[in-house]
A and B are shown apart, each in its own frame.
Chain A
Amino acid sequence: MTDQVHFLRRPATIRKLWILLWAVLALTVAAQVFIPVEGYFGVDGWFAFAAVFGFLSCAAMVFAAKALGALLKRKDDYYDR
């Protein structure tokens, strides 16, 4: 165990996991062809709406956190001094 790199940490496995992730993502979008999403308010029924909305919301939150972080972050011994 200690000498051998764990199977989940081998580069080959990680590459396969990425391929798997993309495949699953494609599948969830493709599923919308067969299962129509009506949506509550119109826009949320658009093709791949949730995919784009989820991705963009997360990106927005990460960037917002980054920007606020520049203002709010202090060394973690800040309150001990």
Chain B
Amino acid sequence: MTADLLAYPPLLLLIGAAIIATAPRPVGVAAMFIGPLAALWAVWTAPEGVTLAAPYLGLTLEIMEVSPVRRLFALVFTLMTLVGGLFAFRQAARTELAAAFAYAGSALGICFSGDLLTLFLFWEMLAIFSTIVIWSGGTEKARAAGQRYAVLHLLGGLVLMAGILGLWSNTGSLDIRILTGQLGTLSGWLVLGGVLINVAAPPLSAWLADAYPEASATGTVFLSAYTTKAAVLVLILLFPGATILVGIGLYMVFYGIIYALLENDARRILAYSIVNQVGFMVTAVGIGTEVALNGAAAHAFAHIIYKALLLMSAGAVLYRTGRSKCTDLGGLFQTMPVTAICGIIGALAISSFPFTSGFTTKTMISEAAHMEGLVAVYFLLAAASAGVFLHAGIKFPWFVFFQKDSGLRPKDAPWNMAAAMIIFAGLCIFFGLYPDPLYALLPYPVEFEAYKAAKLVFYFQLLLFSGLAFFLLLPWMKRTETVSLDTDWLYRVALNRLARKAIAGFAGVASATAAFATGRVRQLIAAAERVASGSGVLARSWSVAGSALIVSAMLSLYILAYYLTA
């Protein structure tokens, strides 16, 4: 049993988190590297099938179930923990690192959950530890954003739980299996809704760009990887081929582009582009064919690496300059060449530029749309690819590293940050030139040629003319010191105002009631005073005869009552 538990990757990261939180610093640093390496080995060597189960309330919880797609996500999650740890370990606070490791451990737990109850447990742990990572930003804004994030995700967890319980009572099974057919029932919809909150689907996409950029320079790197992609894996496992996901995914794709175009904060631009990229994956899950699901999984793998790389680059800039707004930055390529070059490689990869990992993975999704004859989806994805180059591929590096000379001359990234960026930049190019090792890990056999001459011509035209559009339309994209309203306005402003109004209303009613009651009590006291004081009836001096008469009358009444009752 102990040996089984030590081969359980989530536990290895959770133990790592506990050591980081409590042990002296050198031991914690060692755990930060040994933990993910051990987990990586455990993931790599894990045999397929259910390998860890435990009885609970008459059920058998399948704590560890391994399949190719689960292993793929687990691999990239642990890789991310390892390289993220390298990026962060000298700069981040101990709480943040411990929370990040526990957060990664929870995400791994989701990867291997064989039943919905185990999934739910890790789902909630994921929400809690990611909230702590956000709070580690340490500012008042981080505290408030973390609180909004926590409330939303715990609510999402409740929706998921309600769906799971409904499914259990309807079907008698908690097994993780394809539930697309359950979308005729309320329970099926509740499960889907709970999962969709974590992929940042509409109408609640705003939590992502609200919360992630408030974390620290290092915290956002971890946050970008786990929550949304763990939810994508759950969608692949539970809802492949659910047609509604195609529409939701396409909405996310364009939502991300438009909001990123409007945004001024570099890290918030990258947060919006997470929604955009996850939109590609959600669309693919909705298409649901083998090629599409391969595409979703491959794209998630590539995305975690290049998105982390982009946020590392923005994080290094924030760490060195204390700034992340485009209006404050510019010209940094002169003194931060390593950060700039790595950022550009990440930007090319996210734009699915040929010879980067984005090209060899995202074009699988377009291929799937084509094979299913989804003309509109295919062309919308092509337009979106152009849009990604516009909002992330050029906009991010241009405004941060080139644009104008901001006069800032910061040092380049510290060595550990630079090393982490170089590793991930290397992987972006490696999987761009040689995607076969990645393709071999995909859930279905791959018959996909990433590079064909005609396809290269198509994508070079598409992307380079998007680049031309960027520079010609630059005057239209002048950065402004603004934020853009989103549906979170409803709970950040409207609900707030409503609550204030309601409180004020209640207070009004309460004070009116109190005034009325006080008035009444005063009247009563006044009446009592009138009766009992001065010349009042009860305070007057009475004649002896009158008093004797009253006393004798009362005595007679008493005697009468006595005889009647005896």
Could you list which residues of chain A lie within 8 angstroms of chain B, going by C-beta atoms?
1-2, 6, 8-9, 21, 24-25, 28-29, 31-32, 35-38, 40-41, 44, 48-55, 57-66, 68-69, 72-76, 78-80
Contact = CB atoms under 8 A, between A and B. Distances in A.
B382 interface: yes
A53 B454 contact: no
Contacts of A55: 465-466, 468-469
A65 B261 contact: yes
B8 interface: no
A51 B457 CA distance: 10
Interface string B110-142: 000000000000000000000000000000010
A28 B461 contact: yes
B465 A62 contact: no
A75 B480 CA distance: 9
A51 to B, nearest CB: 4
Contacts of A76: 264, 481-483
B486 to A, nearest CB: 8
A5 to B, nearest CB: 9
A64 B458 contact: no
Contacts of A53: 379, 382-383, 386, 462
The 7 nearest A-B residue pairs measured at CB: A58-B469, A50-B461, A57-B383, A65-B261, A54-B462, A51-B461, A54-B465
A48 B91 CA distance: 49
Nearest to A63: B476
Contacts of A66: 476
Nearest to A60: B383
Contacts of B262: 65, 68-69, 72-73
Contacts of B460: 28, 31
Contacts of A64: 258
A3 to B, nearest CB: 13
Contacts of A54: 386, 461-466, 469
A78 to B, nearest CB: 6
B383 A41 contact: no
Nearest to B327: A76
B485 A52 contact: no
B359 to A, nearest CB: 14
B390 interface: yes
Nearest to A6: B334
Interface in B378-420: 378-379, 382-383, 386-387, 390-391, 402, 405, 409
B468 A72 contact: no
Interface in B323-368: 331, 333-334
Contacts of A1: 334
Given A25-B465, A51-B461, 19 more contacts: A6-B334, A8-B402, A21-B464, A21-B468, A41-B370, A41-B375, A50-B382, A50-B462, A51-B465, A54-B469, A59-B469, A61-B254, A61-B390, A64-B258, A73-B262, A75-B482, A76-B481, A76-B482, A79-B492
Secondary structure at the B interface, as helix, strand, loop or mixed, is helix
A36 B370 CA distance: 19
B482 A9 contact: no
Which of A1, A32, A78: most chain B Cβ within 10 A?
Answer: A78
A42 B466 CA distance: 22
Nearest to A2: B409
B553 interface: no
Contact of B466 (A57, A73, A79): A57
B484 interface: yes
A9 B406 CA distance: 13
Nearest to A75: B482
Contact of B477 (A21, A32, A62, A78): A62
A40 B370 contact: yes
Contacts of B492: 79
Contacts of B189: none
Contacts of A62: 261, 390, 469, 473, 476-477
20 contacts: A21-B467, A28-B461, A31-B460, A36-B454, A41-B375, A51-B461, A51-B465, A53-B386, A58-B386, A60-B383, A61-B391, A62-B469, A65-B262, A68-B484, A72-B485, A73-B480, A76-B264, A78-B483, A79-B483, A80-B141
B470 interface: yes
Nearest to A5: B405
B61 interface: no
B275 to A, nearest CB: 15
A66 B479 CA distance: 11
B482 A74 contact: yes
A61 B394 CA distance: 15
Contacts of B483: 73-76, 78-79
A50 B454 contact: no
B453 interface: yes
Interface string B425-465: 00000000000000000000000000001100111111111
A25 B334 CA distance: 27
Nearest to B380: A57
Contacts of B469: 54-55, 58-59, 62
B257 interface: yes
Of the candidates B375, B391, B454, B492, the one having the most CB atoms from chain A within 10 angstroms of its own CB is B454
B370 to A, nearest CB: 4
Nearest to A32: B457
A60 B261 CA distance: 12
